[in-house]
């Protein structure tokens, strides 16, 4: 049986891995004569920002090599609290000068040879170069506030004058097909609130949803248009009554999925109660209803379960792995549907070490503590090669799906595991790119017009409990207000040229966006982490949505839309 390690061991191990990978990526991207010094500056700032002082030395030791004496960690942490970058680089310069005769290490951290006599000039150049990179210049929380303010504006603009003009334009179009479509899936957002602040979350600011109308009409319309309903949003722990009500009353829906962050399972009894309530809700469905199942999706990744240090250096898990273990065990004997772990891809996804290290290693230990273990694992890799986030230039298949066999004292069950990419949106914009698998290769190929195989942009409808209707792939792309307009909203899916272009991943959206704002367009292309992320970013501004829609109407592709 593998013992559950104390949190500090996990904290040090995980941050050491993050440090090595961030430094490796930085070093590969900045391979020039200044690179050595810049790497040291990067590593030093990374440690100061990411690691509590109690643990910095242990984490920094991940960069030590047996040949180098004194070790890199001692240089990195020299005068951490005082001393500006120039003074610190000067100190480093002197140390290298002293050691240059004896140090033969061909390490990745080796700086260029020190040229005596030009120290001040070179240190000044290095500091200027470092500042030009713009890294770690603004405190993290200040950056979060800045991005949060942008998000607030985007959300407040939802359904504003531009969106209403855009919708009016779409409604004025005549198309042969006036029917109300149905979809493979639809989502309901009961509320967007969440008390957590995961580093990869696409939300920083969430619109408050208060004084909400009766959800009955929303459920009724979803019931007519899809067999698969997903409850999503923030922390849905407080929205389970509505989920149970939906299960018990929506006769056409066959799959009820809910995405949980696991916070509710603070005891085994709470986890058991959760599944018992689902069972009761399913049992309330009359026999005449479609046969239904529930898919319980539980987030499990390095961010939801991140180990955090408070000011005193005391550690806690953001959402404890034990909560997830309790839910898996409670769900193991349950026959009302499936339980799936929803994971975010990182460098571990490039091998089966994924199932032994990081958060999945911690989960295995928590399960074993309770007399359960993960047996056979059957996994699938992505159809396309992806770039290793810490080693730009290296590619490979990543594990994107698995079936985990969960074996207990008296029973066994299968747990589904789904692992997807992160896009640099919301809080995730502030993450170092070494930390998550993203899609630079796919993006490049798509931008070059190579029509790579990829999932379409998800344009299925997302209905907010407050009446807003948007898209799965773009929570800001406003299609109307259900409580003002009713089902008529859904006819827009036949007509909206922007939705159609997104669904086709049509490159003309880029041309149109560039015509709207060339500078903004350049910025978005430079910072995009995937084709879908770029489409998402290009439609965030309501003025852009209106412009893109008009542009697409005047530059039709395959479908001819006739203004009335
Ligand atoms: S990722 Fe989920 S749990 Fe984390 S902050 Fe966002 S909504 Fe909350």
Q: Please report, for the domain that includes residue 424, its CATH number.
A: 3.20.20
Ligand 1: does its nearest atom lie under 6 Å from the Cβ of 461? no
Ligand 1: does its nearest atom lie under 6 Å from the Cβ of 203? yes
Closest CA to 560 of 490, 511, 494: 494
Q: What are phi and psi of 381, to 5 degrees?
A: -100, 165
> What is the predicted pLDDT for the residue at 107?
39
- State the closest ligand 1 atom to the C-alpha of 263, by its place in the atom list counted from 1: 3
Strands (E), 114-249: 173-174, 186-189, 228-231
Position 535 in a domain: no
Position 175 in a domain: no
Identify the domain containing residue 430 by its residue range.
Answer: 181-438
| Residues 6+ away with beta carbon under 8 Å from 80 | 44, 47, 48, 53, 56
CA angle 367, 372, 374 (to 5 degrees): 80
**Do 120 and 201 reside in the same domain of the chain?**
no
Ligand 1: does its nearest atom lie under 6 Å from the Cβ of 196? yes
- Say which residue the tokens 């017009």 belong to: 449
Q: Are 233 and 273 in contact (CB under 8 A)?
A: no
Question: Ligand 1, atom 2: nearest CA belongs to which residue?
Answer: 234
Structure tokens at 254: 């066959």
Whole-number Å distance, alpha carbon 194 to ligand 1 midpoint, is 6
**Do 127 and 190 reside in the same domain of the chain?**
no
Largest CA distance in the chain: 88
> Cα dist. 492→412, 543, 559, 563 in Å?
47, 19, 14, 14
210: number of Cβ within 10 Å: 7
Ligand 1: does its nearest atom lie under 6 Å from the Cβ of 341? no
**Do 340 and 212 reside in the same domain of the chain?**
yes
Number of independent structural domains in the chain? 2
Residue where a domain stops, chosen among 390, 406, 438: 438
**Do 188 and 321 reside in the same domain of the chain?**
yes
Position 413 in a domain: yes
Q: Report the C-alpha gap between 463 and 451 in whole angstroms.
A: 31
74: number of Cβ within 10 Å: 15
> What is the predicted pLDDT for the residue at 99?
65
Residue where a domain stops, chosen among 396, 414, 438: 438
Position 505 in a domain: no
CA angle 330, 333, 338 (to 5 degrees): 85
H helix runs in 172-262, sequence order: 216-225, 240-249
Q: Report the C-alpha gap between 135 and 362 in whole angstroms.
A: 32
**Do 351 and 218 reside in the same domain of the chain?**
yes
**Do 331 and 208 reside in the same domain of the chain?**
yes
> What is the predicted pLDDT for the residue at 101?
52
Structure tokens at 262: 């696991």
Find how far residue 443's CA is from the centre of its chain. 17
Ligand 1: does its nearest atom lie under 6 Å from the Cβ of 390? no
> What is the predicted pLDDT for the residue at 78?
75
| Residues 6+ away with beta carbon under 8 Å from 89 | 37, 40, 41, 123, 126, 127
Q: Are 526 and 561 in contact (CB under 8 A)?
A: no
> What is the predicted pLDDT for the residue at 152?
96
Q: What are phi and psi of 8, to 5 degrees?
A: -65, -35
Find how far residue 304's CA is from the centre of its chain. 10
**Do 342 and 267 reside in the same domain of the chain?**
yes
pLDDT per residue of the chain (564 residues) written in tens, 0 to 9: 456 679 999 999 999 999 999 999 999 988 776 667 889 899 999 999 999 999 999 999 999 887 766 788 887 887 666 568 888 888 877 777 666 555 544 333 444 555 555 778 888 888 999 999 999 999 999 999 999 999 999 999 999 999 999 999 999 998 878 888 999 999 999 999 899 999 999 999 999 998 899 999 999 999 999 999 999 998 899 999 999 999 999 999 999 999 999 999 999 999 999 999 999 999 999 999 999 999 999 999 999 999 999 999 999 999 999 999 999 999 998 999 999 999 999 999 999 999 999 999 999 999 999 999 999 999 999 999 999 999 998 999 999 999 999 999 989 999 999 999 999 999 999 999 999 999 999 999 999 999 899 999 999 999 999 999 999 999 999 999 999 999 999 999 999 999 999 999 999 999 999 999 999 999 999 999 999 999 999 999 999 999 999 999 999 775 434 333
**Do 312 and 390 reside in the same domain of the chain?**
yes
Position 174 in a domain: no
Closest CA to 293 of 263, 250, 341: 250
CA angle 487, 202, 153 (to 5 degrees): 70
Whole-number Å distance, alpha carbon 547 to ligand 1 midpoint, is 32
End-to-end CA distance of the chain: give it in Å, rounded. Answer: 71
Position 463 in a domain: no
Question: Ligand 1, atom 7: nearest CA belongs to which residue?
Answer: 234
Omega prior to 542 cis, within 30 of 0: no
Q: Are 246 and 256 in contact (CB under 8 A)?
A: yes
> What is the predicted pLDDT for the residue at 5?
77
Structure tokens at 61: 């030791």
**Do 122 and 187 reside in the same domain of the chain?**
no
Closest CA to 536 of 447, 449, 441, 471: 471
Whole-number Å distance, alpha carbon 139 to ligand 1 midpoint, is 22
**Do 362 and 218 reside in the same domain of the chain?**
yes
Number of H helices, E strands in the chain: 21, 17
Any idea how long the chain is? 564
Q: Is 195 helix (H, G, I), strand (E, B) or coil?
A: coil
Residue where a domain stops, chosen among 438, 473, 500: 438
Closest CA to 389 of 18, 25, 15, 35: 25
**Do 276 and 332 reside in the same domain of the chain?**
yes
> What is the predicted pLDDT for the residue at 80?
64
Q: Are 218 and 482 in contact (CB under 8 A)?
A: yes
Closest CA to 204 of 159, 140, 248: 140
**Do 348 and 206 reside in the same domain of the chain?**
yes
Partnered with residue 299 across adjacent β-strands are: 342
Strands (E), 390-489: 395-396, 399-407, 412-420, 461-464, 468-471, 480-481
Whole-number Å distance, alpha carbon 285 to ligand 1 midpoint, is 31
Position 108 in a domain: yes
Position 77 in a domain: yes
CA angle 337, 338, 339 (to 5 degrees): 140
Residue from 190, 203, 430 whose mutation best tests the ligand 1 pocket (most atoms within 8 A of CB) = 203
> What is the predicted pLDDT for the residue at 560?
39
> What is the predicted pLDDT for the residue at 277?
97
């Amino acid at each position: 049986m593998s013992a559950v390690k104390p949190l500090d061991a996990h904290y040090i191990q995980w941050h050491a891995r993050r440090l090595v990978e961030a430094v490796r990526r930085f070093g590969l991207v900045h391979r020039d004569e200044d690179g050595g010094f810049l790497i040291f500056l990067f590593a030093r700032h990374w440690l100061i920002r990411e690691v509590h002082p109690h643990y910095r030395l242990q984490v920094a030791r991940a960069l030590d090599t047996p040949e180098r004496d004194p070790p890199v960690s001692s240089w990195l942490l020299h005068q951490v609290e005082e001393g500006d970058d120039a003074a610190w680089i000067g100190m480093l310069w002197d140390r290298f000068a002293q050691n240059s005769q004896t140090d033969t290490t061909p390490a990745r951290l080796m700086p260029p040879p020190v040229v005596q006599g030009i120290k001040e000039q070179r240190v000044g150049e290095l500091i200027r170069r470092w500042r030009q990179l713009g890294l770690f210049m603004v405190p993290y929380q200040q950056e979060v506030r800045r991005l949060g303010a942008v998000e607030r504006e985007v959300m407040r603009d939802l359904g504003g004058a531009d969106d209403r003009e855009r919708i009016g334009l779409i409604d004025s179009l005549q198309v042969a097909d006036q029917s109300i479509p149905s979809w493979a899936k639809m989502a309901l957002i009961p509320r967007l609130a969440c008390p957590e602040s995961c580093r990869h979350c696409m939300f920083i600011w969430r619109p408050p949803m208060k004084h909400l109308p009766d959800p009955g009409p929303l459920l009724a319309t979803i019931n007519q248009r899809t067999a698969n309903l997903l409850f999503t949003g923030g922390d849905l722990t407080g929205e389970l009554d509505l989920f149970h009500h939906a299960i018990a009353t929506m006769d056409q829906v066959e799959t009820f999925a809910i995405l949980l962050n696991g916070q509710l399972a603070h005891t085994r009894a709470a986890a058991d109660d959760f599944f018992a309530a689902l069972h009761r809700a399913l049992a309330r469905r009359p026999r005449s209803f479609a046969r239904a199942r529930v898919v319980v999706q539980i987030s499990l990744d390095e961010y939801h379960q991140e180990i955090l240090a408070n000011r005193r250096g005391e550690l806690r898990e953001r959402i404890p792995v034990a909560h997830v273990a309790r839910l898996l065990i409670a769900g193991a004997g349950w026959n009302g549907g499936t339980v799936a772990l929803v994971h975010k891809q990182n460098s571990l996804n490039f091998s089966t070490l994924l199932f032994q290290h990081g958060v999945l290693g911690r989960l295995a230990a928590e399960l074993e503590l309770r007399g359960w273990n993960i047996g056979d694992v059957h996994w699938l890799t992505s159809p396309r090669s992806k770039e290793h986030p810490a080693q730009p230039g290296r590619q490979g298949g990543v594990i994107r799906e698995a079936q985990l066999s969960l074996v207990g004292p008296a029973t066994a069950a299968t747990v589904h595991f789904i692992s997807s990419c992160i896009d640099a949106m919301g809080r995730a914009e502030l993450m170092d790119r070494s930390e998550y698998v993203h899609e630079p290769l796919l993006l490049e190929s798509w931008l070059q017009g190579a029509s790579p195989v990829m999932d379409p942009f998800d344009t299925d409808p997302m209905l907010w409990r407050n009446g807003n209707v948007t898209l799965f792939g773009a929570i800001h792309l406003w299609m109307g207000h259900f409580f003002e307009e009713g089902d008529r909203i859904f006819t827009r899916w036949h007509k909206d040229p922007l939705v159609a272009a997104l669904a086709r991943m049509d490159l003309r959206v880029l041309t149109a966006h560039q015509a709207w704002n060339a500078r903004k367009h350049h910025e978005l292309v430079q910072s995009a982490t995937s084709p879908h992320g770029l489409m998402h970013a290009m439609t965030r501004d309501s003025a852009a949505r209106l412009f893109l829609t008009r542009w697409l109407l005047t530059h039709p592709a395959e479908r001819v839309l006739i203004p009335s």
